[in-house]
Amino acid sequence: MEIVTNTIFSIFGVPAPLSPVVALVAVLCFAPVMPGAANKTKSFLTGRRGAPVLQLYFDLWKLVRKGMVYSRTTTWVFRAAPVVVLASLIAALLFLPLDGRSAPAHFTGDLVAFAALLALGRFALVLAGLDTGSSFEGMGASREVTVATFAEPALFLCLIALVLATGELTLSGMLGAPLATAWPHAAASLTLVGLSLFVLLLAENSRVPVDDPATHLELTMIHEVIVLDHSGPELALILYGSALKLALFGALVVCLFVPRPTVAPAAAIAILLVGLVLVAVAVGIVESVMARLRMTRIPQLLVGAASLATLGIILLLR
Amino acid sequence: MSSRSGFDALGLRNRRAIPLGAVPTESIDGFRETVVGAVAAGWRLVAFFGSPEDAERTRLLAILADDARGELGATSTFVHDRYPALTPDCPSAHAFEREIAEQCALLPEGHPWLKPLRRHLPDHRPVRRSEVVLDPDVYPFFRVEGEEVHEVAVGPVHASIIEPGHFRFQAHGEQVLFLEIMLGYQHRGVERLLETANPARAMLVAESIAGDTVIGHAGAHCGAIEALARSRKTPHAQAIRGIALELERMANHVGDLGAMSGDVAFQPAAAFFGRMRGECLNLLMTLSGNRFGRGLARPGGVAFDLPPTMRSEMRGRVERLRDELEPVAALLFDSASVQARLEGVGAVSPKQCLEFGFVGPVARACEVTRDVRQDHPYGIVRFAHIPVATAWAGDAHARALVRWHEVRRSLAFVLEQLAALPAGAPRASCGALHPAELVVAMQEGWRGEIAHVVLTNDQGAIRRHKVIDPSFHNWTAVALAVPGNQISDFPLCNKSFNLSYAGHDL
C-alpha cells in the first residue's frame, strides 16, 4: 500500500506525508453535512425544527437501494451525466491544497484545468437535461448556462487576483504556503476576492438569491429542474455531487481566508471542516434574510462579483 | 334605461326573492340591447346562464348589479338552439357564454373564443334536444408560430399539493407571449347535484364547492334558501356567520401571504405566516368543530352556538394572533428584496378589470372598489361595516397589500363582534320554499363575490341553482396578466391570484 501511494506521490511530485489524501477523503466524507447545516440554520432562524443535519446521508442511503426509471427519449448521454459530474468534481478537488500545504495533484497552470473540470461537469448535466426532451429541462439548461456564462469569468478573475497576490501558477501554491505570506500586504484584495468567491458559491450551487434549492415550482428552478428525470442511485450521485460542489467552493473560501501552512496536518484538516460548517451556516443565514432575485437580475449580481475580483486585481497592480 | 324593459325596477336585492313571473321576458334582440346597454351604463354582469324552459326552449337569464346603489336587475329571453352572442359587445359575458354553450347546447353565434370551458357534456339542455355544441374532447390551443417561440405545457398534474389545471405558455426565451389556461378537471356536476339532492345533502354539496371557501359558499347557499323560505335569522346567528366568514378570509389571506413569500424564497415570512394560517384555522375549529368551518352554517342560522366562555377565550387568541401578525407583515413588506420581486409582476389594469368584471382583491388591487360587503350588504355587515381595502398598482405587490389590509380589518371586526355579540337563538326555523321565485344571494368570500342564483318551480322545488365562484370571473385575469412577464415569475403571479380550480369547474 505504502509503495503504491509513494509511487503515486512521486509521479505527482508531492512530498511523502499522506495528509493531502487524508484531507481529500475527509472532505469527500464530510460534504453531505454542508447542505444539512445550511438547512438547519435556515430552519433555526425561521422558527422551525427542520430536518436533521445528516439528512442527506439518509437520503443517499435510501436512493442507492432504489431502482431507476428512464424516460424513453433519453440516451447514454443522460446516463453518463451523473458519473461525469461526480468524476469531474473529484478531479477538481485533487487540485486544492485541502490540508493547507499542498494538493494531491498540481502542475503549472492547473487553475485552468480546475475551471475546465467544473465546466465539464456542468456541460454533462446540461446535456442530460436536454437529452430528456422536456421543455422544463430545456429551460433549466438554458438558465444554467446563462448563469455559468457570467459566473465563469468571475471565477477566472478571482484566480488571476490570487496569481498576482502570490506569484504562483498552481492552485496548490496560491492557496498554500505563499498565500500566508501574501495576506499582510494584499489583505484588501484577498478580502474582495473572498467575497466574490462567496457570491460565486451561492450562484454555482443554486442557492438563494440566485436559485431556490427548496422550491417545488419547476418554472422557477434553474439547477433542480435539470435533474428532475434522474432517479435512484443516479440521483444519489447527483445529490452527492451537489454537496461536493458546495464543499469544493466552501474549501476555496476557507483556504483563502484561513491559510494554515504551519499548523499540524490533523489540526489543519479539522480547521477546514469547521470552516466548511461556518460557510454552510453563512449560506443558511443569507437564505433566511432575503428573497430570491428575479431571474433577469442574476447576471447583475454575478457581474458585481466579477467587479469585486477586478477591484482586487487593480489594487494589486498599483 | 328603466323605460327599456324594466329590468332594473324589480325590487331585486341581494337575498331578496322576487316572483319569477316579474322578470321581463324579451325578444333576443331586446335582451341583447338591455344587457349590453346596461353594462355600458355601468351595471355589472353578475350571472348569465340558461335554464331549460320546456322540451325545446331554454330561458337565458342575466343578473346585473348596480354596485353604487346596491341594486340588482334581471332580464331574460327564450332561445331554441342558437342566438347572437353578447361577448363581441360585452366582454364580461365571455366565460358565461362558453358555459352556456357547453351546459345548454346553445350556440352563441359570433363568439370570438368559443372553446369548451370545463369539457363536459351538456347537463342543462331541454329534454328533446340532443346535440352538442362544443365537443368536450376537442380543445384547439392558441399557438404562436416562429423559429424562436417555444411552447411550455404545465399540468394538469403539478409539483405541489395544488389542484389540477393545464397551462400552455407560448414563450420567447424567458418572456411569456401568451398563456392559455384549460380547466375542467375538477368538474363534478355541482349545479345538477344542488338541484336534485335533498336539502340536507345539498347543504353538504354547497360546503364542498371549493374546499377553502366553505363558509363563503355555505353562507351564500343558506342566504338563497332562507330568502326563498322567508326565514329570518337572529342577529346572533348573523354575527356568528360573519365571524366565521372573516376567520376564513384571514386564514386564506395569511396562508397566501406565506405562500407568496415561499415562492420568492423569503423563508422567515413563509414559515411564520404558514403557522399563523394554522392559528386562524384553529379558531374556526373552536367555532365549528372543523378547521375549514364545515357544518357551521345551516339554513336559518348556525348549527353551533358561541357561549361566553368560548367567546372570551377566542378573543384572547385573536388578540395574540394580531400582535404576532403585525411584525411578520412588516418584515415582508419592508424587505427590499421582496418588494423587488413583487412589484410590477402580473399587473391587471383597471380598464381590463371593468371590461371583464373581475372581483375581489384582484379588482380592489387596481382601484376598482368592489366589495359585496359594502355594495350589497347583508347579515351582520349591514350593522358593522368593514372598510374596503384598495391599492392602485394592480400587480402582485398590490394584491398582497390588499390582502394584508383585509386581514387587519377582519381582525378588528372579529374582535369587535366577539366583544359584543348580539343575544338571541343560534338558529331560526326554515320551512318550505316559496314557489316560482328567483333569488340572488351574494357574499364576499375571501376571493371575491360568490353568487348563488336559485329559481324555484311551481311546487316550490329548486329548478335551477346557478353557482358563480369568484374564480369563474378571475381566471381570465390570470391569462391577461401573465403575458409580458418572465415565465419564471408565473408561479408567483398565479399565487398572488390564488384562484380555485374546483370553484371554477363546479
Among B168, B264, B486, B496, the strongest candidate for a mutation testing the A interface, having the largest count of A CBs within 10 A, is: B264
The pTM of this model reads: 0.90
Residue B498 lies in a domain: no
Position B54 confidence tier, pLDDT thresholds 50, 70, 90: confident
Instruction: Please give the distance of CA A310 from its chain centroid, rounded to a whole number.
Output: 21
CA–CA separation, B287 and B290 (whole Å): 8
Say if the Cβ atoms of B263 and A216 lie within 8 Å.
no
B454 in Cβ contact with B228 (< 8 Å): yes
B129 part of a folded domain: no
CA A263 to chain centre: 25
CA B85, B90, B94: angle at the middle one, nearest 5?
65
Please count the residue pairs, one from chain A and one from chain B, whose beta carbons lie less than 8 angstroms apart. Answer: 88
Query: B233: pLDDT confidence band, cut at 50, 70 and 90?
Result: confident
Same domain, B87 and B220: no
Strand partners, B62: B48, B75
Tell me, yes or no, whether B326 and B439 share the same domain: yes
Q: What is the pLDDT of residues B176-220, one digit of tens each?
A: 999 999 999 999 999 999 999 899 999 999 999 999 999 999 999
What pLDDT sits at residue A266?
84
Calculate mean pLDDT across residues B50-62. Answer: 90
Closest residue on chain A to B155 (Cα): A218
DSSP of B259-306:
HHHHHTT-HHHHHHHHHHHHHHHHHHHHHHSSTT-TT-EETTEESS--
Three-state secondary-structure class, residue A49 = coil
Q: Is A287's CB within 8 Å of B267's CB? A: yes
Distance from CA of A290 to the nearest CA of B (A): 6
Q: Structural domain tally of chain B?
A: 2
Please report, as a single letter, which amino acid is at residue A126.
Answer: V
Give the distance from residue B399's alpha carbon to the nearest chain A alpha carbon, in angstroms: 18
Residue where a domain terminates, one of B66, B82, B109: B109
Q: Residue by residue, what is the 3-state secondary structure of A265-300?
A: HHHHHHHHHHHHHHHHHHHHHHHHHCCCCCHHHHHH
* Nearest-by-Cβ selection for B150 from A135, A291, A296: A135
* Residue B416: how many other CB atoms lie within 10 Å: 14
By the 8 A CB rule, do B24 and B5 touch?
yes
Which residues from chain A sit within 8 angstroms of residue B265, using beta carbons?
208-209, 212, 214-215, 287, 291-292
pLDDT bracket for residue B36 (50, 70, 90) = very high
CB within 8 Å of B232: residues ≥ 6 apart: B226, B428
Residues whose CB is less than 8 angstroms from the CB of residue B389 and which lie 6 or more positions away in sequence, other chains included: B364, B401, B402, B405, B406, B409
Q: Which residue is it, cell 493531502?
A: A20
Assigned domain for A8 exists: no
* A292 closest CB neighbour out of B264, B272, B490: B264
- What b-and-e string marks burial along B214-227, b requiring 16 or more CB atoms within 10 Å of the CB? bbbbbbbbbbbbbb
At residue A8, the pLDDT reads 44
| Residue B39 structural domain | 2-109
Whether B153 and A219 lie within 8 Å, measured CB to CB: no
What is the spatial distance between Cα B303 and Cα A312, in angstroms, rounded to a whole number? 72
Give B167's strand partners. B154, B181
The verdict on residue A15 lying in a domain is no
Distance (Å, whole) CA B274 – CA B251: 9
Give a yes or no: residue A9 inside a domain.
no
In this prediction, residue A264 carries a pLDDT of 84
For B337, which of A215, A216, A291 is closest by C-beta distance? A291
Contacts of B94 (CB under 8 A, 6+ apart): B87, B111, B112, B113, B356, B476
Q: Domain boundary at B109, B124, B140, which?
A: B109
Q: Based on the domain organization, do B105 and B221 belong to the same domain?
A: no
- A219/B488 touch (CB, cutoff 8 Å), yes or no: yes
Calpha distance B231→B465 (Å, rounded): 19
Is A227 contained in some domain? yes
The pLDDT profile of chain A, 318 residues, written as one tens digit per residue, is 445 444 544 544 445 467 888 899 999 999 999 999 999 999 999 888 989 999 999 999 999 999 999 988 899 999 999 999 999 999 999 999 988 888 888 899 899 999 999 999 999 999 999 999 888 888 899 999 999 999 999 999 999 999 999 988 999 888 888 888 898 988 999 999 999 999 999 999 988 888 888 888 888 888 888 888 999 999 999 999 999 999 999 999 999 999 888 888 888 888 999 999 999 999 999 999 988 998 889 999 999 999 999 999 999 987
In the DSSP assignment, the letter for residue B380 is: G
Task: Assign B379 a pLDDT band (cuts: 50, 70, 90).
Answer: confident
Which residues on A lie below 8 Å from B488 (Cβ)? 143, 219-220, 294-295
Between chains, do B174 and A295 touch, taking CB under 8 Å as contact? yes
Whether B201 is covered by a domain: the verdict is: no
Asked whether the beta carbons of residue B337 and residue A293 sit closer than 8 angstroms, the reply is yes
**Mean pLDDT, residues B51-70 taken together:** 90
In terms of domains, do B256 and B375 share one? yes
Domain containing A226: what range? 20-317
- Segment B436-447 mean pLDDT: 93
B156: phi > 0 → left, psi -120 to 50 → alpha, else beta; which?
Answer: alpha
Check B265 against A135: CB less than 8 A apart: no
Residue A209, preceding bond cis, omega within 30 degrees? yes
CATH number at residue B344: 1.10.645.10
Query: Do A305 and A200 contact (CB within 8 A), yes or no?
Result: yes
Alpha helices in B51-196 (DSSP H): 94-104, 190-196
Taking a C-beta distance cutoff of 8 angstroms, is the pair B133, B153 a contact? no
Amino acid in the structure at residue B212:
D
CB B18 within 8 A of CB B61: no
Nearest to B273 by CA among B147, B176, B407, B87: B407
Mind listing the pLDDT tens digit for each residue in B119-176?
A: 999 888 888 888 888 888 888 899 998 888 888 888 798 877 788 999 999 999 889 9
Does a structural domain hold residue A70? yes
Among partner residues A288, A292, A293, which is closest to B268 by beta-carbon distance?
A288
Asked if the structure places residue B241 within a domain, the reply is: yes
Exposed e or buried b for every residue in A64-83, given b needs 16+ CB within 10 A? eeeeeeeeeebeeebeebbe
Q: What's the grid cell of residue B494?
A: 398565479
Burial track B26-49 (b if 16+ CB lie within 10 A, e otherwise):
beeeebbebbebbbeeebbbbbbb
Residues 206..245 of A with a Cβ closer than 8 Å to B: which? 208-209, 212, 214-220
Question: Mean pLDDT across chain B, nearest whole number?
Answer: 91
The tally of domains found in chain A comes to 1
Interface residue of B169, B267, B494 to substitute, partner A, most A CBs within 10 Å: B267
CA A252 remoteness from chain centre? 8
What dihedral angle (degrees, nearest 10) is formed by the CA atoms of A101, A105, A109, A114? Answer: -100
Output the pLDDT for position B423.
86
For residues B266, A142, A248, A1, the Cα torsion angle rounded to the nearest 10 degrees is 140
Determine phi and psi for A49, rounding to 5 degrees: -85, -40
Chain B residues closer than 8 Å to A291 by CB: 261, 264-266, 335, 337-338, 340-341
Residue of B nearest to A296 (CA): B486
- Of all residues in chain B, the percent with pLDDT exceeding 90 is 67
- CB distance B352 to B480 below 8 Å: yes
Using a CB–CB cutoff of 8 Å, tell me whether A145 touches chain B: no
Residues B319 and B460 both lie in one domain: yes
Question: CB neighbours (10 Å) of residue B138?
Answer: 9
Question: Is A49 an 8 Å CB contact of chain B?
Answer: no
Please report residues of B whose CB lies closer than 8 A to that of A136. 152
Smallest CA–CA distance, residue B161 to chain A, in Å, is 10
- Per-residue pLDDT, A5: 43
Question: Distance from A214 to chain B by nearest Cα, in Å?
Answer: 8
Q: What is the ipTM of this complex?
A: 0.86
CB atoms within 10 A of CB B92: 21
Mark yes or no for CB contact A46/B160 under 8 Å: no
Query: What pLDDT was estimated at residue B4?
Result: 53
Residues of chain A in contact with residue B267, where contact means CB-CB under 8 angstroms, are 42, 45-46, 214, 287-288
pLDDT at B3 over 60: no
